[in-house]
Amino acid sequence: MKGYAGRYVEVDLSRSEVKIKKLPEELALDYIGGMGFGAKTLYDLVPEGIDALSPENVICFWNGPLAGSLVPVSSKYCVAAKSPLTGMFGFGISSGYFGAELKRAGFDGIIFLGKSPRLVYCLVDDDFIKLIDAEHMRGRTTWEAEELIKEELQDQSVRVASIGIGGERMVRFACITNDRNRQVGRTGMGAVMGSKNLKAVAVRGTKAAGVADLKALRRFCKILYERCQGSATEKYRKYGTPANVLVHNKLGCLPTRNFQQSTFEHANKVSGETMLRTHVKKITACDICPIACDHVNKVDEGRYKGAVASVDYESLWSLGPNCGVSDLNAITKAVEICDTNGIDTISAGMTVSFAMECYERGLLKKEDTEGLELKFDNADAMVEAVRLMSRREGRLGKLLAEGSRRAAEIIGRDAWKYAMQIKGMELAGYSMRSLQTSTLGFATSIRGACYLRAGAYQYDIKGKVDRLRLDSSRGRLVKGGEDSYAVIDSLIICKFSRGMYKSEEELARLYRLVTGLQMNGKDLIKAGERIYNVGKLINIRHGWKREHDYPPWRATHEKLPDGPAAGAVIKMAEYDAALDSYYRARDWDKQGIPSREKLSELGIAGERMLKSSWVARALGRELLSPKICVSKRGA
């Protein structure tokens, strides 16, 4: 078995014990790597009922079989744990150099159990694995931790994934930062590291990652590199993902002021084109990437002079138009705070915009906001709220560090209507009402509101469906996208390169050339379906119900007031039909529970397959239901 290192590390932080374990070949064939390995790890090791921030949680880092090879944009890794934000399957994927370095150290992954009594970092230096005291790094930013570790090891080439003060203080959407500008952003994996007193993981490797057929792989990769330089990735290379701002705005799908509107009157001020001209100082690439999408901003003047941050579309949108902010200096500063203190920019911006709407509606008062005039369009208030939240400081910081769903529960009254979240995770920058297939994909996503689980916006945009309504044709589309993306996130390759592959057969060919394991396109998609079903089982175990697969209240109760999609709203009957069609496409029952036959067909077996107690709970016959989770029927 080539491509895979064939081994992974298991670290018990409570006992300071390290074990090296063999990676079974059947695990590779069934779950591929990355997200698939993460799902299987949580399914096997994380019991029901545990607190995500307790020592009983498990956090695992997995690269994919392509990491460390010459396959373009394959140096990625996935981190998975029970999420402190959603209480369900949490995971995030990052790029940079860390994933390939872990493979070069001779490992496919690292699993952390328990909790260290002191703050530590884990060094994986080929076969030398050690927990090293990191108490002197307490309170340090992610960038400082990375630098300190490199200095201590006297090696600038060591790769570091670390948390900042946000992770240490367990902000529920704390992220993990590696290679300075890359993040495992979503679902609060940094908070889980913080709960385990794990400040960082540092990796250094000297081994070559073997491949099965180097000659043929080289020929195929040459073609892929040429495709990566083509027109499909041109905008990522020139403008980065912020090129999307004006496109979203023209389509009426740029969520503005906490999703109240779908166009931003100052979009030109925060467009990718403007940012490139006024703020971008450097364009960088991840390991073995011919695209180079990473646009690094620097603020040259004004109150936020000196701020430096890599600003992508989602960060720009969530802290910009979503908060009514059109000041690129303030947005860059807010992203810098998020990155260095280690919190997810999307959830950060969305939680601030939630608080802004609560403030404007009188649900929050000045005494709740540390005196901030927390109104939309107030750039300085946005930056200060992000700073407080990232450090859990003050009354406002402590409230917002809980994420919008829990903050809404604490605020009470109608606040839940303005928490733009699904399963507890805040939405990304795609309007719910003007991209309705996309919204179905956000809602069925197993990690909470996410555009990266199904990419269903593509069906809305390509004109294959009417994007302003839903029907029973959408379930099959979303299911197809989810299975395909589960493969991409398990191999793991960058989604920006997905257009370089003409079919699943090309991905399978790549897999065979690297690993020597026999898989065709259908096998890969079947693995994707298996991974998604295991993710669903994890969620059912931790309290999922059908009502968690619904969009926020606003999507179904308020018509869009502006833009080319003015008047659009999601009709509940259409949504119900679309969700039913999704469950049918998955061979799940009407309540969204996988059948035992389906699980057997996918080879998901064993006594813990699907406990009847979990099903009973999902059907509402037991306790444990999050108080606020859905918009259904406008509760």
Does 244 help bind another protein (rule: CB under 8 A)?
yes
Q: Does 432 bind another protein (CB under 8 A)?
A: no
Q: Is 274 in the site for another protein (CB under 8 A)?
A: no
Q: In angstroms, what is the minimal distance from the CB of 313 to another protein?
A: 3
Are the C-beta atoms of 508 and 516 separated by less than 8 Å?
no
Please name every residue paired with 60 in a beta bridge, in sequence order, or none if there are none: 80, 111
Q: Does 241 bind another protein (CB under 8 A)?
A: yes
CB closer to another protein, 74 vs 249: 249
Minimum separation from the CB atom of position 455 to another protein (A): 6
481-501 in b/e form (b: 16+ CB < 10 A) is bbbbbbbbbbbbbbebbbebb
Binding residues for another protein restricted to 592-621, rule: CB under 8 A: none
Q: Does 212 bind another protein (CB under 8 A)?
A: no
Maximum pairwise Cα distance, the chain? 67
From residue 337, give the alpha-carbon distance in Å to each of 146, 342, 403, 549.
Answer: 16, 8, 17, 32
Q: How far apart are CA 488 and CA 608, in angstroms?
A: 27
Which residue has tokens 């960058």?
494
Query: Which of these, 120, 125, 203, 107, lies nearest to 168 by C-alpha position?
Result: 120
The answer to whether 202 touches 124, Cβ cutoff 8 Å, is: yes
Amino acid, res. 556 = T
Q: Indicate whether 246 belongs to the interface with another protein (CB under 8 A).
A: yes
**Binding track over 483-522 against another protein, x by CB under 8 A:** ------------xx--------------------------
- Nearest distance from C-beta of residue 276 to another protein, angstroms: 10
> What letter represents residue 415's amino acid?
A
Restricted to residues 170-199, the positions that interact with another protein (CB under 8 A) are none
Per CB under 8 A, 210 contacts another protein: no
Instruction: Please say whether the beta carbons of 409 and 416 come within 8 A.
Output: yes
Question: Measured from the CB of residue 31, what is the shortest distance to another protein in angstroms?
Answer: 24
Instruction: In angstroms, give the least distance from the CB of 239 to another protein.
Output: 7
Q: Which of 124, 243, 328, 524 binds another protein (CB under 8 A)?
A: 243
- Nearest approach, Cβ of 609 to another protein (angstroms)? 33
Any contact of residue 250 with another protein (CB under 8 A)? yes
Which of 66, 251, 335, 491 is the binder for another protein (CB under 8 A)? 251
What is the smallest separation between the CB atom of 267 and another protein, expressed in angstroms? 11
Report in angstroms how near the CB of residue 295 gets to another protein at its nearest: 11
Which residues lie below 8 Å from residue 44, measured CB to CB, with a gap of 6+?
Answer: none
Q: Which is nearer to another protein, 240 or 324 (CB)?
A: 240
Name 107's Cβ contacts closer than 8 Å, sequence gap at least 6.
5, 7, 8, 9, 124
Does 150 bind another protein (CB under 8 A)? Our answer is no
Smallest distance, another protein to C-beta of residue 36, A: 20
Q: Which stretch binds another protein (CB under 8 A): 3-11, 24-32, 133-141, 239-247?
A: 239-247
Q: Are 209 and 3 in contact (CB under 8 A)?
A: yes
For residues 204 and 269, give the distance between their C-alpha atoms in angstroms, rounded to a whole number.
42
* Coil/strand/helix, residue 262: coil
Binding to another protein (CB under 8 A): which residues in 305-334? 312-314
Nearest to 430 by CA among 556, 268, 254: 254
Least Å distance, CB 562 to another protein, is 11
Cβ distance to another protein smaller for residue 296 or 565: 565
Q: From residue 126, how far is each of 106, 121, 205, 321 by CA, in Å?
A: 6, 16, 5, 45
Total residues at interface with another protein (CB under 8 A): 38
Helix ranges (H only) for 231-271 are: 234-238, 244-251
Q: Kindly state whether residue 242 participates in binding another protein, applying the rule CB under 8 A.
A: yes
CB of 259 to another protein, least distance (A): 17
Q: Are 565 and 457 in contact (CB under 8 A)?
A: no
x/- letters, 546..565, toward another protein (CB under 8 A): -----------------xxx
Using alpha carbons only, what angle is made at residue 419 by residues 245 and 348, rounded to the nearest 5 degrees?
55
Among 273, 547, 562, 574, binds another protein (CB under 8 A): 273
Between β-strands 425-426 and 421-422, what pairing exists: parallel, antiparallel or unpaired? antiparallel
Cβ distance 292 to 96 under 8 Å? Answer: no
Tell me whether residue 223 is exposed, middle or buried, using C-beta atoms within 10 angstroms of its C-beta: 0 to 12, 13 to 18, 19 or more. exposed
Identity of the residue, 188 or 455, whose beta carbon is nearer to another protein in the bound complex:
455
The nearer residue to another protein, 156 or 231, going by C-beta atoms, is 231
Please name the residues in contact with 139: beta carbons below 8 A apart, sequence gap of 6 or more: 165, 168
Contact 288, 316 (CB under 8 A): no
CA triple 552-555-559, angle to 5 deg: 150
Q: Does 267 bind another protein (CB under 8 A)?
A: no
CB of 376 to another protein, least distance (A): 23
Nearest to another protein of 465, 604 (CB atom): 465
Contact track, another protein, 443-482, x by CB under 8 A: --------xx--x-xx--xxxx-xx---------------
Q: How far is the CB of 275 from another protein (least distance, A)?
A: 12
Stretch that binds another protein, among 16-24, 160-168, 241-249, 519-527 (CB under 8 A): 241-249
- Interaction site with another protein (CB under 8 A): 231-232, 234-235, 238-239, 241-244, 246-248, 250-253, 273, 312-314, 429, 451-452, 455, 457-458, 461-464, 466-467, 495-496, 563-565
